[in-house]
Structure 1
């Protein structure tokens, strides 16, 4: 099943992300795909807002991943945020125990996860953002 949305602004992208994130549960692993500048970071900001950890959000591009601690409906939530843009080989992911980080009672969002198809079966949903002219973005959600 594929759902599609057309976002006309960064605010709208965050709004779609908040709607999407409201259904996430511990153990969900999201592949966040799209070219540079497509809105992945804005989408991630919306996800982080739902779990009350948006004030902690920073791009993990250089650190590879960040772990955020938040809450939803009074319950603690751990959100893992990976950015695989700078990773070249699957072995680099194995070295840091990437698969182990994905297996647990937390929610994981993996930017550039499409670069490593060997992990595709672990993703419970894939969100793809594409440029659609100007500030418009096409958001496709599968899974």
Structure 2
């Protein structure tokens, strides 16, 4: 049985709090889901991703995929193995590049995927089962919108 899905707007006052919101959010996720993680540079996407990775026990493997298109982490949830795919589309310029990388195939498997900067390609909208937007509202404060 899946944990309750977390939805709504939340205010975070620190990186620790952002990771806590991410952990609560991730406890309702499972294989086959694809999360679109959006926000400007410095909004806290990496901290949010770190919180997700903690839930699946793969935070030690976490690194920003900004220079590689994707990282794959091996973790587990409720005693079962989970493969967490972490994509960063910041440096992808076109739909053609996505197609050439076989991106769509990666989103079709039985694993959990988190896509940073996924909003840049509207053709992907249909693939997302959840959306998380991080907005800078102060020096340390962030608004987290989960839908």
Partner residue of 2:30?
25
Could you list the runs of 5+ residues in structure 2 that have no partner in the other structure? Answer: 1-5
Partner residue of 1:52?
57
The 5 Å alignment of 1:85-96 reads: 85-96=90-101
RMSD, aligned α-carbons: 1.0
**Matched length:** 142
The 5 Å alignment of 1:1-143 reads: 3-142=8-147
TM-score for both structures, normalised by structure 2: 0.95
CA–CA distance in structure 2, aligned partners of residues 100 and 136 of structure 1: 36
Could you list the runs of 5+ residues in structure 1 that have no partner in the other structure? Answer: none
CA–CA distance in structure 1, aligned partners of residues 143 and 92 of structure 2: 26
TM-score for both structures, normalised by structure 1: 0.97
